[in-house]
Amino acid sequence: MNPVDMLQDARFTRRSFVAGSLGALAAALLAEELSPLTAFAEDSAPAGPMDPSRRDGVIDTICEMCVWRCGVRATVRDGRVVKLDGNPDHPHSLGKLCPRGQAGLLTAYDPDRLKYPLIRAGKRGSGLWRRATWDEAMDYVAEQMKRIAGDYGPQAMVFSSTHNPMQVQFENLLNAYGSPNYGTQRSLCFNAMITANQLTFGVDEPGRDYANARYIVYAGRNLAEAISNSETQELVDAIARGAKVVVLDPRFTKTAAKAHRWLPVRPGNDLAFFLALIHELLANGDYDRAFVARHTVGFEALKAEVEPYTVEWASAKTEIPAETIRAVAAELGAARPRAFVHPNWRTSNFINSFQTERAIAVLNALIGAWGAPGGVCEVSGESAVELGAPPQPPYPRVSALRLDGVPWKYPLVPLKLGIFQNIREAVITGQPYQAKGWFIYRQNPVLSLPDRGRTLEAFNKLELIVNVDISMNDTAWYSDVVLPEATYLERFDPLIVVGDRVFIRQPVIKPLFESRSGLMIFQDLGTRLGLKDFFQYKDELDYLGYQVKPLGVSVEELRQAGSVKVKLPPIDTYLFRTPSGKVELKSSLLAAANQDAVPTWQEPPRPTAVAFYLLTGKVAQHTQFATQNNRYLHELEPGNALWMNPGPAAARELADGETVVVKSRSGEVRVPLRVTEAIRSDCVYLTPGFGHVSKALMTAFDSGVSDSDLHETFTDPVSGGQALSQTFVTVEKV
Ligand code: SF4
C-alpha cells in the first residue's frame, strides 16, 4: 500500500485553522497567547477517551518541539488537547512558549503522522509499504538484528538518535545488544564548544548570569531566532536593563538588530577577533590578575602566543575596523567581571572553530567572569541528581573499534559526543569493518548530515534500516521498517532534571492510532532480542516508579505536581575538573596530543572570487528538520530562499525573487533569490530543514531546498566537529 494514500485520512484544509491567529503569532517571537485550535482538533482527532485515570483540565508536561524542554500547560477538553501554554513555574518556559511550542498541537494532530508499523514493500525510497502489526514488525526487526549479530558481530549494527530524554533507554538497548556504534547530531552542532570548555574549565558548557551582566558578546549565537526560550527571555530582559550586546555575524540577524554593535565578521575569522581581544587586554594590563594568579595555568605561554595578534592584524582578517576591535576590548575590560563572551552552541562552522571556542573560554577566564555575578559559571543539574533505575545485569564487554574513530583516531573527542559524519563515511568505505544495519530513533540523517548523496550511498550498503519516529521523515522514507512512536503529548518519557528540580513528561491525551512510547518499543524489542533482563519494568509507570524512588515522592504525586525539588550538593566554583585542577589557558591534554595548547591562529579556507561562503542558520518558526510538516509553522515559514547582497546580485544580473542555481562540489539546488543588505557580499545564506523528499509529508514535501544537497564533509581533527561553513558555492542564472 502506498503511504501517501494510507496517511491521507483525517485531512483538513490549511485555511480551516489558519484563520485569525497567524498574524499575532508571526508578530511575536514569544507570544503568550495563541488562538485555540479547537476546530482542527475536533475535526481530525480520532475518537477515543484519554487515559481514564486523568480528567479533562490543565495538565503539566514538557514540550518537545525543540531540545530546550520548556514546561507546558496543556488544556484538554473531551480527551483532546485544545491549547498549549507556557508553564510559569518552569525555569525554561517562564510562562511563555515560542511559536514552535504553541504549534505543538499540530504535531500531535498532524494527519501525516505515522499511524501503524510499516514494512517496506518496494525499492528503498519507492514509497511502497505494507501495514504490519506490531508483533510482525518487531519480530522482523529482532530476527534481522539477531542475524546481523550472529553473522557479523553486534558491532555491525549502527544506532543513532537525537539528544532526548529517552536516550537512556535507547542507549540501554544498544549497550545490551553490544554495539559500540552510536551517533547523535552533536558533531554537527556543538562538539567544538564542549571539547574546548572541557579542556579549559572541565565543564561541558558554562552557564550565563544574564541578570547581572553588563556586557555580552555573541559570535553567531542568534538567540532571537534560534530560540532557547528562557535564555532568549533573559537576553531581552538584560537589554532592557541596559546591558550592552555585541554580535559578530556575517548576517544581520534579529539578534544583531537588538545589539549595541553588529560586527559583520568575515566567516571563519571570529578567532582572529578574539585573539586580538586577548592581545589587547593583556597589553593594557586590563585583565583579572588575581583570578589569573589563583586559578589558571599557562598564562606566560598564552601571552607569548598572542603577542603578534594585534587589532590591526585582526582587522585585516575580520574586516572589522581596528578602532572597533579596540573599543570592544576597552568596553569588555570596563564591564568585567560582569561580562561574558557567550560560549555559543552550534559551533560546527570551520575547522578552526575549536580554537575559536578555546579563545572564548580563555577570554572569559581572563576577564574574571568565571563564578562572578554577571559572568559564567558551572551549572549544576542532571549529573548531580540521582534517579533510580530498574535492576539489570552488566552490559556485555565490547572490544570492537568504534566506526567514528573515537578514541583510536580522535583521542580528544569526548566519548559521549562522537563523530556522527564519520560513521556514515565508515559505512561507505567498510573501514575498519563493514556495518550491516542502522537503527535510527527520532533522527533524520538524510536531511541533517552534509552531502545527502553520500548518506543515501551509505544506506545502499546496509541490509537493514529501522526507524522509530512520529512521522515518515526523509530517513524513514528510505528505511525498511518504520515504527510509530507516540508524540510528547501522548507518552511518558524518563524523568527530566533541570537545576534542582525533576520534571515529568506525561501524556495529556491517549496515544493516537497505534503509536507507542519509546519506553515500551525498546522494552518489547529488547525482549524479542533475548535481552529482557535489561528491561525489567512492566510499563511506563513501573519504570518511573523506579526512577522516583530516591526522590521521596510517588509517580502520582509527581504527575499532579509536574515536578519535585531535590537537594543538590554544593558546587565548589573553583574546583576545575582539568588535569591541573585549574583553568587551563594552556591545555596539558592538547599539548600531550601535539595540538596547539594555547589559542592559536589557524587560517580558514576562503572561497575564490566567483564563489560564496554558504551560511546556514535558524528561523524562529522551525526546529532543524523536524517541524516543516507542522501546518501552523508551515504557514509562517513555508520554504527557504537564498539570501544575497545587492552588490553581487547586480554583478550577476540577478533579481530578487528570481530562481537561481546554487552549486557546490557536493551537488546543486534551484531556489528563489532574496536580495538583501542583511548579509555580507561574500556570503549567501539558506535556512536548513527544507527540501524534504518524503512524499508522505504532504505539507513539507517539495517545499524549499535542502542545504544537505550542498554541504561538503569536513571534520575537525581535535573536536570531531563538522565544518559546515567551509562549503563554498557558486550562484548562476537558471
Ligand atoms: Fe518548546 Fe519553544 Fe521551549 Fe523549544 S523553546 S521547548 S520549542 S517552547
- SS3 string, 251-309, reads ECCHHHHCCCEEECCCCCCHHHHHHHHHHHHHHCCCCCHHHHHHHEECHHHHHHHHCCC
Alpha-carbon gap, residue 99 to 96, rounded angstroms:
10
Q: How far is the CA of 355 from the centre of ligand 1 (A)?
A: 30
Q: What's the pLDDT band for 31 if we cut at 50, 70, 90? A: very low
According to DSSP, the residues that pair with 469 across neighbouring strands are 484
Q: Which atom of ligand 1 is nearest to the CA of 65?
A: 7
Q: Which atom of ligand 1 is nearest to the CA of 92?
A: 3
**pLDDT value of residue 382:** 67
Alpha-carbon gap, residue 31 to 33, rounded angstroms:
6
Within 13 Å, how many C-alpha atoms sit on residue 437's CB side? 27
Q: What's the pLDDT band for 729 if we cut at 50, 70, 90? A: very high
Q: Which atom of ligand 1 is nearest to the CA of 623?
A: 7
Lowest mean pLDDT among 161-165, 241-245, 454-458, 544-548: 161-165
Q: Using alpha carbons, select from 490, 423, 476 the residue that is nearest to residue 696.
A: 476
Which residue among 66, 83, 228, 621 has the greatest number of ligand 1 atoms within 8 angstroms of its CB, and so is best to mutate?
66
Is the per-residue pLDDT at 44 higher than 90? no
Q: How far is the CA of 93 from the centre of ligand 1 (A)?
A: 8
Q: What is the mean pLDDT of residues 223-251?
A: 97
State the Rg of the chain over Cα.
Answer: 25
Helix H or strand E encompassing 236: helix 229-241
Q: How far is the CA of 140 from the centre of ligand 1 (A)?
A: 36
Q: Which three cell numbers stand for residue 501?
A: 528540580
Q: What is the mean pLDDT of residues 3-31?
A: 32
Using one digit for the tens of pLDDT, what is the confidence trace for 607-639?
999 999 999 999 999 999 999 999 999 999 999
Report the nearest-CA residue for atom 4 of ligand 1: 66
Using one digit for the tens of pLDDT, what is the confidence trace for 245-289?
999 999 999 999 999 999 999 999 999 999 999 999 999 999 999
Q: Which three cell numbers stand for residue 706?
A: 535542502
Report the nearest-CA residue for atom 5 of ligand 1: 229
Q: What's the pLDDT band for 569 if we cut at 50, 70, 90? A: confident
Chain CA centroid to CA 303, Å: 35
Using one digit for the tens of pLDDT, what is the confidence trace for 147-179?
999 999 999 999 999 989 999 999 999 999 999
Is the per-residue pLDDT at 683 higher than 50? yes
Is the per-residue pLDDT at 1 higher than 80? no
Q: Which atom of ligand 1 is nearest to the CA of 96?
A: 8
Q: How far is the CA of 107 from the centre of ligand 1 (A)?
A: 13
Q: How far is the CA of 67 from the centre of ligand 1 (A)?
A: 7
Question: b vs e for 290-320, b when ≥16 Cβ sit within 10 Å of the residue's Cβ?
Answer: ebbeebbbbbeebeebbeebbbebbbebbeb
Report the nearest-CA residue for atom 1 of ligand 1: 101
Residue in the structure block whose three cell numbers are 596539558: 588
Q: Which atom of ligand 1 is nearest to the CA of 68?
A: 6
Which residue among 25, 32, 62, 63 has the greatest number of ligand 1 atoms within 8 angstroms of its CB, and so is best to mutate?
63
Q: How far is the CA of 76 from the centre of ligand 1 (A)?
A: 20
Instruction: Answer whether the bond into residue 337 is a cis peptide, omega within 30°.
Output: yes
Which residue among 65, 106, 234 has the greatest number of ligand 1 atoms within 8 angstroms of its CB, and so is best to mutate?
65
**How does DSSP classify residue 503?**
E
Q: How far is the CA of 378 from the centre of ligand 1 (A)?
A: 23
Q: Which three cell numbers stand for residue 85?
A: 501554554
Is the per-residue pLDDT at 340 higher than 90? yes
Q: How far is the CA of 268 from the centre of ligand 1 (A)?
A: 29
**Angstrom distances, CA of residue 639 to CA of 200, 636, 642, 698:** 40, 9, 11, 14
| DSSP character string of 414-482 | -TTT--HHHHHHHHHH--SS---EEEEES--HHHHSS-HHHHHHHHHT-SEEEEEESB--HHHHT-SEE
Q: How far is the CA of 100 from the centre of ligand 1 (A)?
A: 6
User: How crowded is residue 593: how many other Cβ atoms within 10 Å of its Cβ?
Assistant: 14
Q: Which atom of ligand 1 is nearest to the CA of 229?
A: 5
Are residues 534 and 393 in contact, defined by beta-carbon separation less than 8 angstroms?
Answer: yes
Which residue among 228, 229, 498, 632 has the greatest number of ligand 1 atoms within 8 angstroms of its CB, and so is best to mutate?
229
Q: How far is the CA of 103 from the centre of ligand 1 (A)?
A: 10
**How does DSSP classify residue 710?**
T
Q: Which atom of ligand 1 is nearest to the CA of 100?
A: 7
Alpha-carbon gap, residue 134 to 118, rounded angstroms:
9
Q: What's the pLDDT band for 379 if we cut at 50, 70, 90? A: confident
Using one digit for the tens of pLDDT, what is the confidence trace for 476-508?
999 999 999 999 999 999 999 999 999 999 999
Q: Which atom of ligand 1 is nearest to the CA of 97?
A: 8
Q: How far is the CA of 82 from the centre of ligand 1 (A)?
A: 18
Q: Which residues contact 627 (CB under 8 A, 6 or more apart)?
A: 65, 100, 103, 107, 621, 633, 689
Q: Which three cell numbers stand for residue 45?
A: 482527532
Q: How far is the CA of 579 from the centre of ligand 1 (A)?
A: 37
Q: Which three cell numbers stand for residue 531?
A: 535481552
**pLDDT value of residue 514:** 97
Residues whose beta carbon lies within 6 Å of some atom of ligand 1: 63, 65-66, 68-70, 97-98, 100-101, 227, 229
Report the nearest-CA residue for atom 3 of ligand 1: 70
Is the per-residue pLDDT at 43 higher than 60? no
How much is the mean pLDDT over the chain? 92
Beta strand 71-77 with 57-62: parallel, antiparallel or unpaired?
A: antiparallel
Q: How far is the CA of 681 from the centre of ligand 1 (A)?
A: 33
**pLDDT value of residue 17:** 30
Q: How far is the CA of 186 from the centre of ligand 1 (A)?
A: 19
Is the per-residue pLDDT at 689 higher than 50? yes
Q: Which atom of ligand 1 is nearest to the CA of 232?
A: 5
